[in-house]
Amino acid sequence: MKKSIGILTLSLIILTLACNRKEAEEELAIDNPELPLSIPKGFPPLNEAFYKNKPTKYGVELGEKLFHEKRLSGNNTISCASCHQQSKAFTDNQAQAIGIYNRVGLRNTPPIQNLAFIKHYNWDGNKRQLETQPLVPIITHEEMNSSIVEVMSKLKVEKDYQILFRKAFGDPEITPDRIYRSIAQYEYTLISANSKYDKVKRNEGIHFSDTELQGYQLFQAKCASCHSGELFTDQSFRNIGFPINPSTEEAGRGRVTGIREDYMRFRVPSLRNIAYTAPYGSFGQFKTLEEVLDYFDKGVLHANNLDPILTENGNRIPMTPKEKSDIISFLHTLSDETFITPR
């Protein structure tokens, strides 16, 4: 009898333990909902990669933390946000990006904005999915000078990351893919569509000033054939005769395709938040918007593959001083203050 009581107690204990365990597991089961994104009206279609990696609550939280993580660099001094600073619409105000040990990169840092709607990334479009992009700065000698295995080994020992990877992906394992996917998810959420221009368009009771309106009309006539649509880019690659980067590494789109006609062609940049992202051009050739417009007005460099829109106009876009200042007033209406302010 005594024996059976013993067994009974034992099995009870086991049962309770088992129950406790189940309870604990339930507690651990995480609710990681998809984040609804509000897609601004008139924006181009989403990049197809988005549908395979939709932002989730914790995926984005993890991505944001990784974006600001200096341990992604070899000597723990540079994060993505060192070059992509929110207060400057995720650029750095440098002519050419400055990375680890103050090494100078080849190109100017572009803003990280509305990238969910972009088909080709970087100045030359050599990446088609945001998920395949983060490895480039991590391994690049002039940027973060690290390796993905080195990064994983640094993150693995951090309790915060173990928790966040589990919340975002169901278990604490850190893989290259999860790092890339979460960073991309965060970038997908960086949507800028709350500028004065947007408010005017949405009829929110705000109006352009006279100069802004004139600038807008001039822009439609002189610029919108390339800087078209709600992102102010048709996402094509063009050579518009900007001064040429002296580095022999540079060939624009030609570096990727190996096609002669693509030599020194660059993706038409979005002009949203342009007032925050000086200097301008693929290697920061121009300090101000005035300099860009003066250059167009005086005449651009000739090239065999110079865009027909320029060759048909004697290699220039002529503008009077008044027209230039009107266009610049308009460009300032593309500034989205909420976008550059931390949430």
Partner 1 sequence: MKNLTNILFASALSVALISCDKSDPSANNVTLHFNNTFKDKTIVLGDANSTQASINTSAAGQTHQFSELKYVISNIRLVKTDGQEIPYNINDLDKGATVIDHSKASTLSYVLSNIPAADYKQLKFGLGVKPELNTLDEVRFPNFYNTAGKNDTKMMWEWGTGYRFTKIEGFYDTDKKKLSIHTGSTLDGKRENQATYVPGVDAYRDITLTLPEVVLVGKASTVIYVKADFDKLLSGTTNTITLRSGTGPDDNATPNIHTADGMVQFVDNLGGNGKSNQSGMFSITHVKN
199-200-202 Cα angle (round to 5):
60
Stretch that binds ligand HEC, among 19-27, 41-49, 131-139, 335-343 (CB under 6 A): 131-139
Nearest to ligand HEC of 192, 282 (CB atom) = 282
Q: What is the distance between the alpha carbons of residues 333 and 217, in angstroms, rounded to a whole number?
A: 13
State how far the alpha carbon of 15 is from the alpha carbons of 2, 18, 30, 299, 312, in Å. 20, 5, 25, 83, 84
Q: How far is the CB of 188 from partner 1 (least distance, A)?
A: 15
CA–CA distance, 229 with 156 (Å, rounded to integer): 43
Q: Does 292 bind ligand HEC (CB under 6 A)?
A: yes
DSSP H/E element including 244: none
**In sequence order, which residues have a C-beta less than 8 Å from that of residue 100 and are 6 or more positions away?**
73, 74, 75, 77, 78, 142, 143, 144, 145
Interaction of residue 141 with partner 1, rule CB under 8 A: yes
How many angstroms separate the CA atoms of 264 and 250, rounded? 8
Cα dihedral sign, 200-44-241-272: positive
Q: From the list 59, 63, 99, 125, which residue makes contact with partner 1 (rule: CB under 8 A)? A: 125
Residues 132 and 180 sit within 8 Å (Cβ to Cβ): yes
Based on the shown chain and the rule CB under 6 A, indicate whether residue 167 belongs to the binding site for ligand HEC: no
Please report whether residue 68 would count as binding partner 1 according to CB under 8 A: no
d(CA 1, CA 215): 97
Check residue 139 for interaction with partner 1 (CB under 8 A): yes
**CA gap 61, 57 in Å, rounded:** 6
Contact between 69 and partner 1 (CB under 8 A)?
no
Token pair 């167009």: residue? 296
Scanning 29-37, 53-61, 193-201, 262-270 for contacts with ligand HEC by CB under 6 A, the matching segment is 262-270
Does 171 bind partner 1 (CB under 8 A)? Our answer is no
Q: Does 89 bind ligand HEC (CB under 6 A)?
A: no
Residue (142 or 294) nearer to partner 1, CB = 142
| Closest approach of partner 1 to the CB of residue 67, in Å | 19
The option from partner 1, ligand HEC, none interacting with 223 (CB < 5 to 8 A, set by class) reads: ligand HEC
The 3-state DSSP composition of the chain as helix, strand, coil percent (nearest 5) reads 45, 5, 50
Answer yes or no whether residue 191 interacts with ligand HEC by CB under 6 A.
no
Judged by the rule CB under 6 A, the positions of this chain that interact with ligand HEC are 67, 72, 78, 80, 82-84, 97, 99, 105, 107, 109-110, 112, 115, 121-124, 130, 133-134, 137-138, 143-144, 183, 187, 222-223, 225-227, 238, 240, 242, 266, 268-269, 271, 274, 277, 280-282, 289, 292, 296, 307, 309-310, 317, 327
Judged by the rule CB under 8 A, the positions of this chain that interact with partner 1 are 47-49, 119, 122, 125-129, 132, 135-136, 139-141, 147-149, 175-176, 244, 246, 248-251, 254-260, 263
